[in-house]
Structure 1
Amino acid sequence: MDAQRLRQKYRQFRILVMGKANAGKTTILQKVCNTTDNPKIYDSAGQEIDLSAVTPSREWGEHNIENEIIFEANPGYIFHDSRGFECGSTKEFKIVQDFIEQRGIEGASWKQFHAIWYCLPTDNASRLLTGVIINESFAVPMIMIYTKFDDFVLQTQQFFMSQGEQEEDAFEKASLLAPNRFTEEYAKVFNKTRFPPLMDDVSFTYYIDMDKPDANCDKLLEKTADALGDDTLRQLFVCIQKNNLDLCGKWGVKR
């Protein structure tokens, strides 16, 4: 199926982005879309929301999970943000759950979710946002993204220094071992939460120093493409990547 026919069927690739405020979601979406600009926001009726009166502390306006977030630099994506979803909040969990289920029964494939990105800041690993579940009847891939991982590296460095390591040696060791330490000590908590994820549908990835100009989300894009079970949908996802020739080559998608 060529790119034009893909767009006629799906129009855009739709992603639900989960995670609390200040979890690094904005930076990731900007990197994915190769822009530093803010997105345009549209309500459920397709009307653009005027952000000129929004204060900086209220990012992207009044939160509504139905709102569509689109970056002009790559309009092939539609994002929905579940800001407000907190561990133990039954109300917010129900909003997200109902929204996922409602989108899952949409007749038009382009209105359904195609993937979920769940951002978890690791700057305070002992208080990780947890408590997400994916309904078994709604099988879309979910990628867990651990953000602010540079802070966790520094925490790991402090841990090694407390064990007698010198500062420079401790940092080098932490840079190598922080991912494994995080997995062993924190990532496994998802199996014990009130609303554990369906682990068969979950992939894990890490990001460090996402605020740096040369940082990218290639690993996230690759994991998302790998997780998609529908070849046609995967081709759409790969087609809308504007600067990732390696991903196009891997899946044999012609630009």
Structure 2
Amino acid sequence: MSSFAPVAVTRHFAEATTSADLNAELGSLTGDMTGLGTMIEATPSPATFHMDPEKAKKYLENIEKFRVLVIGRGNAGKMTILQRVCNSVDEPDVFDEEGKKHGYHEIKHELVFKSNPGFVFHDSPGFEAGSAKQFEEMKRFVMDHAVERTLKKHIHAIWYCIPMTDYCRTVTVAEQKFFNECDTGHVPVVVLLTRADALNFVAMEELLDEGLEVEEAEERATEREYLLLEKWQAHIKQILDKCKFPPKIYLPLTKMHNESADCTTLIQCTASALNEEGLQRLLLSTQQSSIGLCIEYAVHWVVAGMIEKVIKRGKSYDRKGFECCLLNWFPKHDVSV
């Protein structure tokens, strides 16, 4: 995976990242598509989100868990992605709004994996264009929780899954309806192109139909798979970017069926889509897939802030405070000066 540095800061723990800065950085962000032998870009959209810095600071002091809403069709592989993010093969525990366990889940219920209770997920049942009731329930949940007064109930990111197994209908009426009607406010939406490996079969069929022998088709399948994924990703982005509330980033995912699948790029893209440094810190200290991301963001935010404060402003250097700020980016560290 190529190196990615978070957005440069000019004030430490103070100002929210601007959309323009974010989009500039995302221009160089790529995801390692293992199996394709090449790099597929995680592309940003022109969507803009902003949270008032003072409100953000107060807000971030009152949250402990990173909350994600996962949306998509019934065959999008949503639960598998959540298991990989939490490094688990088990089903999550399901809790209702009163904290009672359930054997089934609705969108308002919380899904929590024992392996990583720092994440709280909400899973929207797969909906299609004809399921008006499910769509309205999902829309109401999104609208309510994007501006939820109870800070701990806010959703911080939305993962919208579009499976490449349905590449012939990559963008349905339901998806366009969501991105035209659901205003998520400052909550970023990351479109995940799931099960992108399915395009390998399509690539093989195309090559065989062109008259290639099986052996030659197998040799060229990876290259053709890459081209197909690039084509359909551009197609999806072209349609959804024209919607009233477009997503923030588009990210292809492969190999999620492997228990050892690496979710670093997913976490990285989600962190990049977040406006607030505090939310980035919460996400990175919650995830367990990459200590490298914690180091990268900690050095960038904290060291940059220290340079701004000490060198440019001539203020005193607080070693203990500096160490605490660094440690707060890492898992299982809740440090105060």
TM-score past 0.5 threshold: yes
Return the alpha-carbon distance in structure 2 between the equivalents of residues 19 and 181 of structure 1: 21
Backbone CA RMSD of aligned residues: 2.6
**Aligned partners of 1:185, 1:30: CA distance in 2, in Å?**
26
CA spacing shift, 1:79–1:44, aligned 2, 3 Å: same
Task: Give deviations 1:199-253, integer Å, cap 9, x for gaps.
Answer: 3x42111222321233221111111011111111110000111231111012115
* Within-5 A mapping of 1:122-137: 122-128=164-170, 130=172, 131=175, 132-133=178-179, 135-136=182-183
In structure 2, what is the equivalent of residue 182 of structure 1?
229
**Match for 2:188: what amino acid?**
P
Higher mean displacement: 5-14 or 30-39: 5-14
Q: CA deviation at 1:172?
A: 3.8
Would you say the 8 A contact 2:72–2:162 is kept in 1? Answer: yes
* Partner SS for 2:136: helix
**Which runs of structure 2 are paired with 1:50-129 in the superposition (5 Å)?**
51=103, 61=104, 63-128=105-170
The counterpart of 1:220, out of the listed 266, 270, 289, is: 266
The alignment status of 1:152 with 2:205, answered yes or no, reads no
CA offsets per residue over residues 14-47 of structure 1, 9 Å max, x none? 1000012232111111110011111000012221
Q: Structure 2: which 5+ runs fail to align?
A: 1-12, 14-57, 299-325, 331-337
Q: What is the alpha-carbon distance in structure 2 between the residues aligned to residue 154 and residue 117 of structure 1?
A: 26
Aligned length, in residue pairs? 239
Cα contact 2:194–2:252 (8 A) shared by 1:
yes
Counterpart AA for 2:170: L
- Tell me: CA distance 1:11–1:205, structure 2 relative to 1, closer, same or farther (3 Å): same
Q: Which amino acid is 1:31 matched to?
A: R
The 1-side partners of 2:207 and 2:259 are apart by 29
Q: Which residue of 1 aligns with 2:55?
A: none
Residue 37 (structure 1) aligns with: 90
Give, as a single letter, the amino acid of the residue that structure 2 aligns with 1:205.
L
Q: After superposing the two structures, state which structure 1 stretch, 144-153 or 231-240, moved more.
A: 144-153
How much does 1:7 deviate? Answer: 8.2
Residue 73 of structure 1: how far off its partner (Å): 0.5
* Structure 1 match to 2:249: 203
Question: What is the percentage of aligned positions where both structures have the same residue?
Answer: 31
1:156 Cα offset (Å): 1.6
- The runs of 5 or more residues in structure 1 that have no matched partner are 52-60
Match among 3, 18, 22 for residue 71 of structure 2? 18
Please identify the structure whose Cα radius of gyration is greater.
2
Q: Is the CA contact 1:19–1:129 (under 8 Å) kept in the aligned structure 2?
A: no
Taking structure 2 as the reference length, the TM-score comes to 0.64
The verdict on how the C-alpha distance between 1:197 and 1:16 changes in structure 2, with shifts beyond 3 A counting, is: farther
Contact 1:40/1:72, CA 8 A, preserved across alignment: yes
Structure 1 position 177, deviation (Å)? 3.9
Q: 3-state DSSP class of the match of 1:208?
A: coil
Q: Is the 8 A contact 1:13 1:77 kept in 2?
A: yes
The match for 1:163 among 210, 218, 227 is 210
Q: 3-state DSSP class of the match of 2:122? A: strand
